[in-house]
Structure 1
Amino acid sequence: MKNTTLIAAMALAGLAGSAQAVELSYSGYIRAGTGINVRGGTQVCYQLAGADTKWRLGNECDYVIEPNFNAKLAEYEGSSWHVHVMPSVYHGWGPAGTNEPDTLTTRFGQIYAYGDNISQLAGGKVWAGRRFYNRLQLGINDQFLENNDGNGAGIEDMNLGMAKVSVAFMMDPNNSANDNRFALPIRATGIKTLPNGELSVYVTPSAQLKSKNQVTNTDPAKQPKGIALGVYQTFNGVMGGNWIAGFKHDKTGDVKNTRVVAQYGTTIGAATGLDVIGEYRVNDQPANGGNKWLSIGARTDTHLSGPFRFLFEAGHDQVKPDTGNTRNMTKFTAALAASAGKEPGSRPTVRLFLTHAIWNDAARLALSGRTQEVFGDKKAGTSLGIQAETWW
Structure 2
Amino acid sequence: MKQKTLVRALGLTLALAPLAGMAAVENITYFGYAKWGNIYTDNDEHNGGKGERNDVIRAGQGYGNYRLGNELNWWEAGLKADVWQQGDAYFDTTLYLGSGESWGDVSLIQMWSAGHGLFEGQADATVWAGERFYRRHEVHMIDIKYWDTSSTGIGIENWDLGFAKGHIAWMAPNSSADGRSLHNIDARLSGIELSDSADLTVGLNYVFTQNSSYDESDITTSGAMLSALYRQAWNYGSNTFAFQYGTDALAGGLMSAEGGSNRKYNTGVEHDGYSWRIFNSGDLNVNEDFQVMYSIAYQDKNLDNNEGEKWFSVGARPQYSWTEYMATALEVGYESVEAQNGAGTNDMYKVTVAQMFQAGKGVWARPSLRLFATYSEKTDEWNRGGEVYGHARSTGGQNVDEITFGFNVETWW
1:391 maps to which residue? 412
Shift of 1:263: 1.2
Three-state SS of the structure 2 residue aligned to 1:345 is coil
| 1:49–1:367 Cα contact (<8 Å) kept | no
Three-state SS of the structure 2 residue aligned to 1:324 is coil
Q: Which is worse superposed, 311-320 or 183-192? A: 311-320
| 2:130–2:152 Cα contact (<8 Å) kept | yes
| 1:178–1:210 Cα contact (<8 Å) kept | no
Q: State the AA in 1 paired with 2:36.
A: A
| 2:377–2:399 Cα contact (<8 Å) kept | no
1:260 and 1:211 map into 2 onto residues whose CA distance is 31
1:10-51 deviations in Å (ceiling 9; x for gaps): 49xxxxxxxx93232211111110121013510363111232
1:164-223 deviations in Å (ceiling 9; x for gaps): 0000010114679971111010110001123421110010011001389xxxxx999964
Q: State the AA in 2 paired with 1:29.
A: Y
- 1:382 matched to 2:382: no
Q: Which is worse superposed, 277-286 or 116-125? A: 116-125
1:97 maps to which residue? none
Q: Which is worse superposed, 148-157 or 339-348? A: 339-348
1:233 and 1:132 map into 2 onto residues whose CA distance is 21
1:87-126 deviations in Å (ceiling 9; x for gaps): 11112xxxxxxxxx57x64322100111124443722110
1:295 and 1:317 map into 2 onto residues whose CA distance is 4
2:384 and 2:408 map into 1 onto residues whose CA distance is 28
Sort the Cα spacing of 1:177 and 1:68 in 2 relative to 1 into closer, same or farther, 3 A.
farther
1:3 maps to which residue? none
| TM-score, scaled to structure 1 | 0.82
Shift of 1:298: 0.7
Three-state SS of the structure 2 residue aligned to 1:185 is strand
1:360 maps to which residue? 379
1:242 maps to which residue? 238
| 1:186–1:202 Cα contact (<8 Å) kept | yes
Q: Which is worse superposed, 179-188 or 294-303? A: 294-303
- 1:116 matched to 2:150: no
1:285 maps to which residue? 303
1:204-255 deviations in Å (ceiling 9; x for gaps): 011001389xxxxx999964211110011112217x3321112101112513
Matches within 5 A, 1:140-289: 140-173=141-174, 179-210=180-211, 223-237=220-234, 240-252=236-248, 254-289=272-307
1:110 and 1:381 map into 2 onto residues whose CA distance is 37
Shift of 1:329: 1.2
1:50 maps to which residue? 61
1:251-285 deviations in Å (ceiling 9; x for gaps): 12513221022113121121122111111110111
1:130-182 deviations in Å (ceiling 9; x for gaps): 00012011121121121111011000111111100000010114679971111
Q: Which is worse superposed, 188-197 or 220-229? A: 220-229
Three-state SS of the structure 2 residue aligned to 1:140 is helix
| 1:56–1:140 Cα contact (<8 Å) kept | yes
1:220 and 1:321 map into 2 onto residues whose CA distance is 25
1:335 maps to which residue? 354
1:75 maps to which residue? 85
| 2:29–2:81 Cα contact (<8 Å) kept | yes
Sort the Cα spacing of 1:367 and 1:298 in 2 relative to 1 into closer, same or farther, 3 A.
farther
Q: Which runs of 5+ in 1 are unaligned?
A: 1-6, 12-19, 92-100, 213-217, 369-375
1:133 and 1:200 map into 2 onto residues whose CA distance is 15
2:380 and 2:137 map into 1 onto residues whose CA distance is 34
2:121 and 2:172 map into 1 onto residues whose CA distance is 23
1:14 maps to which residue? none
1:88 maps to which residue? 98
Q: Which runs of 5+ in 2 are unaligned?
A: 1-18, 45-50, 250-271, 387-396
| 2:175–2:182 Cα contact (<8 Å) kept | no
Sort the Cα spacing of 1:178 and 1:390 in 2 relative to 1 into closer, same or farther, 3 A.
closer
Shift of 1:360: 3.3
Corresponding residue pairs, total? 354
Sort the Cα spacing of 1:31 and 1:10 in 2 relative to 1 into closer, same or farther, 3 A.
closer
Sort the Cα spacing of 1:291 and 1:37 in 2 relative to 1 into closer, same or farther, 3 A.
same
2:303 and 2:105 map into 1 onto residues whose CA distance is 32
2:20 and 2:406 map into 1 onto residues whose CA distance is 41
1:70 and 1:288 map into 2 onto residues whose CA distance is 47
Q: State the AA in 2 paired with 1:75.
A: Q
2:145 and 2:69 map into 1 onto residues whose CA distance is 19
1:23 maps to which residue? 27
1:294 and 1:264 map into 2 onto residues whose CA distance is 17
1:313-341 deviations in Å (ceiling 9; x for gaps): 11111222112222221111110011122
Sort the Cα spacing of 1:182 and 1:342 in 2 relative to 1 into closer, same or farther, 3 A.
same
- 1:297 matched to 2:315: yes
Sort the Cα spacing of 1:109 and 1:260 in 2 relative to 1 into closer, same or farther, 3 A.
same
1:237 and 1:35 map into 2 onto residues whose CA distance is 37
Query: Over aligned residues, Cα RMSD in angstroms?
Result: 2.9
- 1:344 matched to 2:363: yes
Sort the Cα spacing of 1:283 and 1:175 in 2 relative to 1 into closer, same or farther, 3 A.
closer
| TM-score, scaled to structure 2 | 0.78
2:189 and 2:343 map into 1 onto residues whose CA distance is 40
